[in-house]
Structure formats: C-alpha cells, structure tokens
Amino acid sequence: METVNKIRVLVAKPGLDGHDKGAKIVALALRDAGMEVIYSGLHQTLDQIISTAVQESVDVIGLSIMSGAHLPICEKLTAMMKEHTLDNVHLVVGGVIPQQDIQPLRDMGVAAVFPGGASFDTIVSGINALFQ
Amino acid sequence: MPEKVPDIQTDPPVEIQQILDGDVMAGARLIRCIEAGDPATARMLGQLYPHAGNAFVIGITGPPGAGKSTLISALITMFRKKNFSVGVVAVDPSSHKTGGAVLGDRVRMQAHAGDKGVFIRSMAARGVAGGLARAARDTCLVLDAMGYDIIIVEPVGSGQADLEITTLVHSLGLVAIPGTGDGIQAVKAGLLEAADLFIVNKNDLPGAGSEMMTLEHLVQQRSLEPDTWQPPVASTCARTGEGVDRLADLFLDHRQFMKNNQVLEKKQTDQAGDYFNTLVRQMVMDRIDPWVDRQVTAFLDTAEQQAAVTADPYRVAQKLADRLTRSLRDVTIY
C-alpha cells in the first residue's frame, strides 16, 4: 500500500475567551488544504492541549488567542512541550496579536504567527512551509 | 496538497515494550504509522497480537447528531468510576474533495483529556465506506495491547447499512433519537438487526416514549432461540448523564452473558477469521489496484478504443477484464 501521510493539526483555544468562530473557520481552511484537523473546542487548559497533542500525535498545535494573554500562554506551553518531548511539534498562533509581540513569540519558539487579517493562503502556506 | 508531509519514521523508533508498558506517546506514534500505511507496522502488529484480546470492545453507532460523542463521554465517566481504563477511537469523515478532515468528536470528550486512564484518538475515514477508517481495527489492537480495559469505537455517523463496525466490536449500541423512526423503519434489515443494545438518547425530547415502545416491540417480536441475548432498550440523556450508569451496566451485562454462553470466544474467533480474509484482500488489492488503473489508462489511449467504449462500455469492459485477469500471473508487483 502506498504510504499516505497527512499533516495533523490540533486547533485549540486556551483560556477563557469564548470566541471560536475564527478557530472553526481556520479549521475548515486547513481541511480544504488537505490537512486533518483535530478540533478540541473552547476553554482548554494547557495540560489538556498537551495531552491531546500527544494522544493524537499531531504535527502542529494551532492556538487561537483573542484574550491578550498570548505571551504568557505561549511561554508556558513551549516549556511544557519541551518537557513532554514534543520537540517535533510546531506551535503556531493566531488571533489578536499586536505587531510588536510577534518577535517575542518567535523568540520563545513559536514557529509561525498569524495575526488578525492573515489570509487563508498565508496560514496554509505558512503551515506547509514548516515541512519543507 | 502539500508537497512534503511530516516524516513519520523519524527517530526514535517505537519499541514493542513501550506499547506493552502503556506508553501513550509510543502508542500514538504507532497509530500514526498505521494510518499512514507504513509497511513496517505489520511486523509490530504481529508482535503485539499475542498480547491483545483482553479488552472489551464496544461500538456506539447511530445517525449524525444522535449524541454519540456526548454519550461516549458520559460512558467514559461511568467506566472510570468502576476503575476501568478506557480507549476511544472516534472516526469522522474525510472530505472527498480535498482529502482533509475536521475531526470534532473530541470536543464532547475533552473533560477526560487530563485523565491518564483515558486515551482518545480521532481518526479520519480517508475515503473508506462503511463507517470505519481502515486503521481503526489495528488501532484497537494497539490500545488493547497497551492494556486499556474497555475500548469504545465511534464510527462515522451511520446510515442503515453501515455494518463494518459489527466486524470489530464485541457489543454494539445503536443510538436512536426520538421522533426519527416509525414502525416500518424499525422492521427494516441492517443495523437494527445487528445491535446488541438500543439506546434512545435525548430522552427529554418529545416522542422519546413512543420511540422506546417501538424498539421494545421490535425486540420482543424477534423469534429468540433459548439462551440468546435479548437486546435491552436504554433511555439516556447524555448531556445530563441520566440513564448512562444503567447503560454502562447493560454493556457489562452483555459481556458477562457472552462469556457465560461462550459467545464472546466464538465472536472473537469469527472476527479474527474475517479480518484475516480482509487483510489478504487488502494486500492483494493494494498491489493490483494501481496496475488496473494503469492498464485502463493505457487502453483508453487511442481515439479508436475510446469510441468503442462510448458505443458499448459493457462489451469492451468485459473484454478488457478478461484480458487483464488472464495476464494477472505475469504482473510484476513492486
């Protein structure tokens, strides 16, 4: 049988913000790009996100954050990913991310940042680029 | 489609012992390889096989929106209370257009994400008909070998004839929603005949009572041999958890019944036999399918052949099929 591997992406919303329209639409865009998207819903704790990423053996964790807490969340999550040897998993972040925070996020190890207004093309090709 | 996909065979390789020790990361990665059709998995599955066979495998099927995922989440809670560890394989459809998928069953089960005794795996059907992903059965084997006591399989939301699930599970629950069936739906063949338990979910909706009655009548009208299992009809509200404790007990009762009557053993033997047949068939088809595709494409290369097909596709197909079948023994397969 031909080996068929697909990019698996966990789309999760950490914390308390309750706006998941964006996350769902991005999930659809990734599906339309041929990826398999595990959608885990709202109000995820970082522990839940880690354990879901392990069980689903995803290649990418995509966080949607609109609460303004992206810096502390990503700092904590990148540390936890190291701790759980998820070294091969890429963390990407979208949502309400001010321009000046993008570099600090990248410095923490976030593989790509897609602030509000990023097109589907940008997101899809940004994720594909992680595997080239 | 992405040109390059993640390399699944990167180090470190999954060790059999890790799986047997219940290492979640190793199990998850092996499942990933199974899904990808990595030929190296066959050897590992063969090594795991003697260690499996202890788990009780439950299927929860029913139409989309019946509340299967929510019900499974509530069942997990009940089984955990009884100290069983639980593995879940939840299958959702793949897009036939792009091959992608959004796997959302997990949303309803996220309460268990932090529980070490629960392993939930979402799976895309990847174009396979019948409601199960091709990798679903081998995934159950991995979960079984990892030591999960109970494995719950949720196929793609089903129609009346999605019976693939029956070849995999020991006990099948069919979820119905009030107000969707009448007497004639209930006497049809298919899943209704295959179910070991009927579950009327969303029992707070109008029509729950008559749905229960219809199903109870259906069960009673079956001509039952002595010592056969009479499928009970359970009433649940998965959202609140009402009736789910009884449902969990009914599944365990069914297992006990099958054990007492040597039905479980026979079922497992039959299913193993069926699966061997499936394996051989898959392996043969995997080799032949691409070859047939190439032959058909080559055949249609000339305008003359195309015209013949347009004029009478049946005759030409028959001739080509005869020729291909005759030449099968000459096929060189990778």
A53 chain-B contacts, CB cut-off 8 A: none
Nearest neighbour of A55 by CB, restricted to B36, B37, B121: B121
Smallest CA–CA distance, residue B19 to chain A, in Å, is 13
Instruction: Evaluate whether residue A94 is within a structural domain.
Output: yes
Nearest neighbour of A131 by CB, restricted to B2, B31, B94: B2
Contact state of B114 with A48 under an 8 Å Cβ cutoff: yes
Nearest CA in chain A to B11: A88
Identify the pLDDT of residue B3: 39
Nearest neighbour of B100 by CB, restricted to A36, A40, A128: A36
Instruction: Evaluate whether residue A131 is within a structural domain.
Output: no
Handedness of CA B179, B184, B187, B193 (dihedral sign): negative
Identify the pLDDT of residue B333: 55
Instruction: Evaluate whether residue A27 is within a structural domain.
Output: yes
Task: Give ipTM to 2 decimals.
Answer: 0.91
Instruction: Evaluate whether residue A130 is within a structural domain.
Output: no
Instruction: Evaluate whether residue B191 is within a structural domain.
Output: yes
Structural domain span for residue B306: 277-330
Instruction: Evaluate whether residue B245 is within a structural domain.
Output: yes
Smallest CA–CA distance, residue B260 to chain A, in Å, is 35
Identify the pLDDT of residue B1: 36
Which two three-digit tokens encode residue B261? Answer: 């009557």
Q: Does A55 touch chain B (CB under 8 A)?
A: yes
Tally the domains of chain A: 1
Contact state of A1 with B39 under an 8 Å Cβ cutoff: yes
Nearest CA in chain A to B100: A34
CA pair distance B112, B135, nearest whole angstrom: 23
Q: Does A5 touch chain B (CB under 8 A)?
A: yes
Please list the rounded mean pLDDT of every run of 10 residues in chain B (334 residues).
49 83 95 89 93 96 91 97 97 90 92 94 87 91 97 88 88 88 61 88 91 86 77 95 97 96 93 92 87 92 92 94 84 56
Q: What is the pTM of this model?
A: 0.91
**DSSP string covering B228-272, please?**
-----EEE-BTTTTBTHHHHHHHHHHHHHHHHHTTHHHHHHHHHH
Weakly modelled stretches of chain A, pLDDT under 50: none
Instruction: Evaluate whether residue B222 is within a structural domain.
Output: yes
Q: Does A122 touch chain B (CB under 8 A)?
A: no
Identify the pLDDT of residue B189: 64
Identify the pLDDT of residue B164: 87
Are B146 and B251 in a shared domain? yes
Tally the domains of chain B: 2
Q: Are A65 and A23 in contact (CB under 8 A)?
A: no
Nearest neighbour of A40 by CB, restricted to B110, B114, B126: B110
Are B322 and B228 in a shared domain? no
Distance of CA A108 to the CA centre of its chain: 14
Q: How many CB pairs under 8 A join A and B?
A: 121
Where in B79-212 does DSSP place strands (E)?
Answer: 86-92, 101-103, 118-124, 150-154, 171-176, 197-200
Smallest CA–CA distance, residue B103 to chain A, in Å, is 5
Counts for chain A of helices (H) and strands (E), in that order: 5, 5
